[in-house]
Structure 1
């Protein structure tokens, strides 16, 4: 089974269970309805954040380089969409049971506005936790020196063609020019007679 489908169905189950528990709790303590709603909302958000944080930590440990990590954004977006629609449809279906009061809205509301709200409750906390989990893991790796770093002496440099130094056209031209100079120095030269400065003054 795909990872996003597992997370989507898991979060849908969490939402349906807590909506059922919330309905039963409000029936028992009607004066505490507002507090119970906020408490259940906080628990659902916390569970999505914990699951997303675990994914972020696991991904950074498996792929220390940020560019090599998994696409958790699309994974949790698909999971949130599945969770939102499944939770909405399941809540409406279970509300037909007299003993359960999950919702008083119709099916159309649950798979549109209700599903959109559930998608946000799943996606936003999960992605925030993924980012935090990756950041904390990267900082821990840098602190303990386990993050991969490329040493300065292993960095890529362009190779220098030293093996062609004596065979390059420029070097051959320089050597041929030097040989021509030596040959010209061995040629016959004109010897001028010495000038007697003493006789010239007389």
Structure 2
């Protein structure tokens, strides 16, 4: 990854490839990761309020919060799978690896944001400490985003029109 941070000499083919790869990562990965981060933080915040104020519906709220993030990742993965399948040059991007990167960035950011939010606000974070949110919570978020996205990619590649 450090090779992407090196400023290459102008005119070299390898340099152009690295710059192109870096642009692809920043223009494709970051919007997905940021959108899923915001969606996950909003879902968890809504869940915290539902558990605090609508206790009889807390189980349904948990499933709803999980479903919102899972469906969003699966639909976005399917859209990427459709675009990738329609493109003539399929070697341009390995979508499972790309979505793993999206999942790691989104998980790290949402764990960080929600951990800080739990420390500085009155939102009840189920007693989870900041370290838990950034480590174990982030690992769960990686799975919640990555698995549905890759399933969406696979379904669209296999059965899409």
With the shorter chain as reference, the TM-score category is 0.7 to 0.9
Find the structure with the greater CA-based Rg: 1
Query: 2:108–2:138: 8 Å Cα contact kept in structure 1?
Result: yes
Corresponding position: 1:130 with 2:144: no
How many residues are matched? 136
Rounded Cα–Cα distance in structure 2 between residues aligned with 1:126 and 1:117: 14
Q: Secondary structure of the equivalent of 1:50? A: helix
Post-superposition offset of 1:112: 1.0
1:6 to 26, 31, 37: 31
Rounded Cα–Cα distance in structure 2 between residues aligned with 1:75 and 1:103: 32
Which of the two has greater helix per residue? 2
Rounded Cα–Cα distance in structure 1 between residues aligned with 2:86 and 2:34: 26
- CA RMSD in angstroms comes to 1.6
Quote the residue 2:77 is aligned against: 52
Quote the residue 2:112 is aligned against: 89
TM-score, length of structure 2 as denominator length:
0.77
More relative contact order in 1 or in 2 (CA 8 Å, sep 6+)? Answer: 2
Quote the residue 1:121 is aligned against: 144
TM-score, length of structure 1 as denominator length:
0.63
Structure 2: any 5+ residue segments left out of the alignment? 1-25
Corresponding position: 1:36 with 2:64: no
Rounded Cα–Cα distance in structure 2 between residues aligned with 1:133 and 1:76: 15
